Amino acid sequence: MNSLLNHAFDPEEFRREGHQLVDLITTYLNDCREARPMPVLPPSDPDTMVDFWTKDLNSTGFDLQKFYQTLIQQSNHIHHPRYMGHQVVPPAPLSALTELLEAVLNNGMAIYEMGPASTAIERVVLRWLAQKIGMTDLADGILTSGGSAGNLTGLLAARQAMCGYNIWDEGARDDSKLAFMVSEEAHYSVARAARIMGWGDQGVVKVPVNSRMQLDSSRLGETLEKAQAQGLKVIALVGNACTTSTGTYDPLSKMADFAEAHGLWFHVDGAHGGAAAMTEKYRHLTSGIERADSVVIDFHKMMLAPALTTAVLFRNGQHSYETFAQKAEYLLSNGAKKPWYDSAGRTLECTKKMLGVKVYAMIKLYGDQLFSDYITTTYDLGHFMSGLLKQEKEFELAVEPDGNIVCFRYRPDGFTGDLNKLTAFIRKKITDDAGFYVVQTSVGGQIYLRVTLMNPFTKEEDLRDLLRFIRKIAGSLVNPG
């Protein structure tokens, strides 16, 4: 056999390099766990970074371990307690070992024989999750690659079930202008789903929000009537659990009541916060999620799994077979009822990763309590920060947070300049310093800093240090010299 192929598949070389990599990752995780100083988001420039890796690719020689070290140094350090940026979970480290095995086995899962164990495990995990959020044994679903794919999958099922004809095979009708009703604060993937389906801008009917950035349920009726008067056929109502920008939850129970009364499909985008249904302390935020026709929950957000693993659950499991009602003779039986165990007929992917395996391993390793403890801990941190901001002079909240997403800004006494520019300046200085990583967002047309407290080892003192640093930054601008 070709010597290069022998080298690439050499088990002993894998053992040697693998042991060194695990040691390197362990040291890195220890550094993060101990909150050792490091640039949480290493400063970089996109073009400079491309130049660096272009030169590296064109250079002679290659040290695999040095490559691993460089990759760590140049990446976001989401396991560090002062990473407070985006909604990306620090994965439970042992789940990464499971992902390594998944990558080696590489079972594709389009049909059962391509991934027997992982197909069965996926169904067990989905049933487990459905039960945890309050759905009945009739629920079923699929795992897919990310919340955007999940929302599209759920809303495609809504279209097929609610439009009144077989739209998948027959295509769109000029006399049937379909639409979803969504909060003004809905994730862009919902509007993107409507556009993918060819509905354009008119396919997204926005319901106003209240002062807490939650869908205003008192405006549902008038919004629906206005849409119908414009010739739109609204087929679904979409709720947030929770919003991406501010982390607030829509009134899901009231929305479920409205959807039921008006014959609408009820979809809940619970990518970030749907899993709060598993906690004692915060499950009230998700009240009504069990009544949704379809629900999306990301395991890679609040359930400690590496990206990407997203559950799409259907209260009536039969709807999961209607999403992609197409024929592919080499995969699916022509005319026969689609078997649950051939996932290619129910998901965007044909070849699909073994998505449920790492989740199953965590459930067995740590039990259900791991997820509840993690969500409760990080949501508690959000509420602590809210209280801290209220106590600290000159800081203001955008909205009272429901969970671990907190939007705020610094307004110095006597400041008469542009507060949006000041907030953007503060954020840039935080990023340049790289001791913390926070982002900024727009709330009601105003710029705020936003922290998403994803790390359960972030301490209260980390949050106090962040506010002290912000005061220092603003002081250098407001009172130069």
Q: What is the 3-state secondary structure (H, E, C) of 272-338?
A: CCHHHHHCCCCHHHHCCHHHCCEEEEEHHHHCCCCCCCEEEEECCHHHHHCCCCCCCCCCCCCCCCC
- Are 300 and 449 part of one and the same domain? no
Q: Is residue 60 part of a domain?
A: no
- Are 284 and 153 part of one and the same domain? yes
Nearby residues of 229 by Cβ (< 8 Å), 6 or more positions away: none
How are beta strands 395-397 and 405-410 bridged, if at all? Answer: antiparallel
What's the gap between Cα 319 and its chain centre?
A: 23
Strand arrangement, sheet containing 446-452: 395-397, 405-410, 446-452, 439-443
pLDDT in tens, 334-356: 555 667 787 777 888 888 899 99
DSSP state of 397: E
Q: Is residue 205 part of a domain?
A: yes
Which letter, b or e, does each residue of 110-137 get, where b requires 16 or more Cβ atoms within 10 Å of its Cβ?
bbeebbeebbebbbebbbebbebbbbee
The pLDDT of residue 325 is: 63
pTM for this one? 0.94
DSSP state of 378: H
For the record, the structure tokens of 479 come out as 């009172």
Q: Is residue 111 part of a domain?
A: yes
pLDDT in tens, 114-162: 889 999 999 999 999 999 999 999 999 999 999 999 999 999 999 988 9
Question: Domain residues for 402?
Answer: 11-41+76-92+369-481
Of the residues 311, 344, 367, the one at which a domain ends: 367
- Are 340 and 393 part of one and the same domain? no
What's the gap between Cα 75 and its chain centre?
A: 19
CATH number, domain with residue 23 = 3.90.1150.170
The pLDDT of residue 255 is: 98
Measured distance CA(346)–CA(143) in Å, rounded: 10
Q: Is residue 63 part of a domain?
A: no
The closest of 87, 189, 194, 192 to 148, measured between CA atoms, is 189
Q: Across the 481 residues of the chain, what is the mean pLDDT of every consecutive 10-residue run?
A: 88 96 97 94 94 96 96 96 95 94 91 90 97 96 93 93 81 84 92 91 95 96 97 96 94 98 98 97 98 97 94 93 58 58 80 93 95 98 97 94 97 90 95 95 95 97 97 75 45
For the record, the structure tokens of 176 come out as 């049937």
Nearby residues of 211 by Cβ (< 8 Å), 6 or more positions away: 399
Q: Is residue 49 part of a domain?
A: no
- Are 297 and 269 part of one and the same domain? yes
Q: Is residue 150 part of a domain?
A: yes
The pLDDT of residue 335 is: 52
Measured distance CA(346)–CA(343) in Å, rounded: 5
Q: Is residue 273 part of a domain?
A: yes
CATH number, domain with residue 170 = 3.40.640.10
Burial of 273 by CB count in 10 Å (0-12 exposed, 13-18 middle, 19+ buried)? buried
Of the residues 319, 344, 367, the one at which a domain ends: 367
The closest of 439, 399, 348, 402 to 154, measured between CA atoms, is 348
- Are 306 and 159 part of one and the same domain? yes
Residue 229 phi, psi (nearest 5): -65, -25
- Are 221 and 351 part of one and the same domain? yes
Domain count, the chain: 2
Of the residues 302, 337, 367, the one at which a domain ends: 367
Measured distance CA(292)–CA(284) in Å, rounded: 15
- Are 339 and 424 part of one and the same domain? no
Residues of the chain with pLDDT > 70: what percent?
96
- Are 386 and 318 part of one and the same domain? no
The pLDDT of residue 338 is: 67
Strand arrangement, sheet containing 294-298: 140-144, 310-314, 294-298, 265-269, 232-240, 177-183, 204-207
Q: Is residue 3 part of a domain?
A: no
The closest of 224, 244, 245 to 234, measured between CA atoms, is 224
- Are 259 and 378 part of one and the same domain? no
How are beta strands 439-443 and 446-452 bridged, if at all? Answer: antiparallel
- Are 173 and 314 part of one and the same domain? yes
- Are 115 and 131 part of one and the same domain? yes
- Are 300 and 384 part of one and the same domain? no
Nearby residues of 225 by Cβ (< 8 Å), 6 or more positions away: none
How are beta strands 177-183 and 310-314 bridged, if at all? Answer: unpaired
Measured distance CA(267)–CA(328) in Å, rounded: 28
Coil, strand, or helix at residue 408? strand
Measured distance CA(212)–CA(313) in Å, rounded: 28
